[in-house]
Structure 1
């Protein structure tokens, strides 16, 4: 399973606008991305409700992932890894301007 770790830098965590921006970016990848942090189960990162309910607060480390069963060969695995890197960078760039 391709994974990517990132730290949430939005001051309000993944709530309201930062969560909506993140979920929109996940949806645009077309991949079934999950997000988790220590102590909680994986949630569907394409769901604004699930992401907001999981309480990904400022400074928490998260892990983004895509199940191998959703991938189709090496090219798809490379696309998934690139998408996860981009999403991780997005989470880490939402800090105060």
Structure 2
């Protein structure tokens, strides 16, 4: 399963507006997408509550995984959102 490891650079981490953009982008895809904080349990990247519950802060690593057609392109887009958020 393709994956991307990303360090979240935003001062607010992956919260509120950045999390909403991340989830909206993941939800547009018709494939399974998960995100995990560090080596933690992966959660559904299409669920705003699950993503917010990860409590990702500035400087922390997340691992985004997707499986299916277009997974690499989607992972690149989600990684860019998470890194720049």
What's the TM-score once normalised by structure 2's chain length? 0.89
Query: Are 2:55 and 1:55 aligned?
Result: yes
Moved over 6 A (4+): none
Q: In structure 1, what is the equivalent of residue 8 of structure 2? A: 8
> Which has the larger helix fraction?
1
Pairwise CA distance, 1:39: 4.5
Please give the residue correspondences for 1:1-97 in structure 2 after superposition, counting only pairs within 5 Å: 1-67=1-67, 71=68, 76=69, 79-94=70-85
Gaps of 5+ in 1: none
Unaligned runs of 5+ in 2: none
Aligned length: 85
- Root mean square deviation of aligned Cα: 1.3
TM-score, length basis structure 1: 0.79
**1:7-63 C-alpha deviation (Å, 9 max, x unpaired):** 112211111111111111111123221001224210101000000011111111111
CA distance in 2, matches of 1:29, 1:93: 20
